Chain A
């Protein structure tokens, strides 16, 4: 009953959105563009969005506004964009969660592939495997041995179901074939607090949140999950160097609702590429511990490939771990 009601509302919204669509590509953009970020303002994804939006505004000659529609692990905001008018004035900037939601949520109100037109990849933020300052293991090799030995006695902090910090933890446990005791938090901020206070043993989180703490020696860093070492953490080895078979990064992509005029998509892709080539954006990204993707990556094709391969990858990992958000 409830879901019938919900679906009929959604259908109504979609019908209205279609009726209102059909903007002309030649005079695009004729009004401000809204980029929906499906997370709270001030978070790392929001930061990425605002940096890129600023330059895109200049390039497009229209304001690009960031709108935060948080909730339900990013699925609320994504659902809203999926149902929005496909006139190029409502876009979605989402991260890796775009590819994990289909496996985590049983009845998503949208299809991550069918309901969106990819515009391009933006950046891939690497993650770091970190622990409290007085945690016993010294190197990544020590850590692997330690985890295999102590398993469930190790407390592993994450930011809740479907968060990148949880996914990274799943990959570690999967790679080592051992369970640790997961301790969920309301976001990685509070988790970092407890890590700093030595209340908890380990965590894996994006460099955005961990770099300053690592540099200040407040926490121990064992590895970065990128293929190469990072410029601002030169002493931290990659997972591959330490023999840990996992690579994961929080990739961000820009999407438009399905059926958006290809000419508009092309214009947006070009604008995104301009933004990523911008020096300020590159500098700020570097401070976040990341780099903009190359021009070849900031394309609809690259984003489509990444999205579909990541959806498959996470479907497997998440099914194996038996995780579900409902």
Chain B
């Protein structure tokens, strides 16, 4: 598909419209209130409206001409591994405990770079695990079990 418009601008416009619409629609469920006692819906509805308008203007400006720079490749591997790891960390830190979670997370993150081979990744994970344990748990007294309740039977 060839359009004579800036993909970047169109994409950001779409994002602004999406965010603006979500906040506005959701906020319409809340009380708007009166000028004297504004309700919880007042500001989000107003700001969401502003964002929708801005999104429309950005969309219009997109048609001034296409982007000049080449789009860069999408780092799928990094996206999945890094974002997945962060979610994994949050979901398991209380259950699995510090050492297993940090080790596994560091391992997965290290793998998101193609520059790391498996051995390097394991070395990075082990050393990071030790370092973090030393700094946060021993040094700063973060209250988290070394091995969590899911591993204790």
Task: For B149, give the chain A residue with the smallest CB separation.
Answer: A20
CB of A85 closer than 8 Å to a CB of B:
yes
List residues of chain B with CB within 8 A of the CB of A20: 149, 152
Chain A to chain B: the 3 pairs with minimum beta-carbon distance, closest first: A20-B149, A16-B149, A67-B143
Q: In angstroms, how far is the closest chain B Cβ from the Cβ of A64?
A: 12
Residues of B within 8 A of A (CB): 94-95, 141, 143, 149-150, 152-153
Please name 13 pairs of A and B residues whose Cβ atoms are closer than 8 Å in the assembled complex, sorted by A: A13-B94, A13-B95, A16-B149, A16-B150, A19-B149, A19-B153, A20-B149, A20-B152, A34-B143, A65-B141, A65-B143, A67-B143, A85-B149
A322 to chain B, nearest CB (A): 13
Do most interface residues of chain A lie in helix, strand or loop, or is the interface mixed? Answer: helix
Q: Residue A233 at the B interface, CB < 8 A?
A: no
The reply to whether A17 and B149 contact each other, CB–CB distance below 8 Å, is: yes
Complex CA–CA separation, A67 to B94 (angstroms): 15
List B contacts of A34 (CB < 8 A): 143
Q: How far is the CA of A65 from the CA of B143 in the complex (A)?
A: 9
**Set of chain B residues within 8 Å of A16, measured between Cβ atoms:** 95, 149-150
Further contacts, 12 of them, CB under 8 A, given A16-B95, A34-B143, A67-B143: A13-B94, A13-B95, A16-B149, A16-B150, A17-B149, A19-B149, A19-B153, A20-B149, A20-B152, A65-B141, A65-B143, A85-B149
Nearest B residue (CB) for A83:
B94
User: Distance in Å from the Cβ of A293 to the closest Cβ of chain B?
Assistant: 28
> Which residues between 27 and 69 of chain A lie within 8 Å of chain B, taking CB atoms?
34, 65, 67
> Which chain B residue has the least Cβ–Cβ distance from A65?
B143
Nearest-Cβ distance from residue B112 to partner chain A, whole angstroms = 27
Least CB distance, B151 to chain A, in whole angstroms = 10
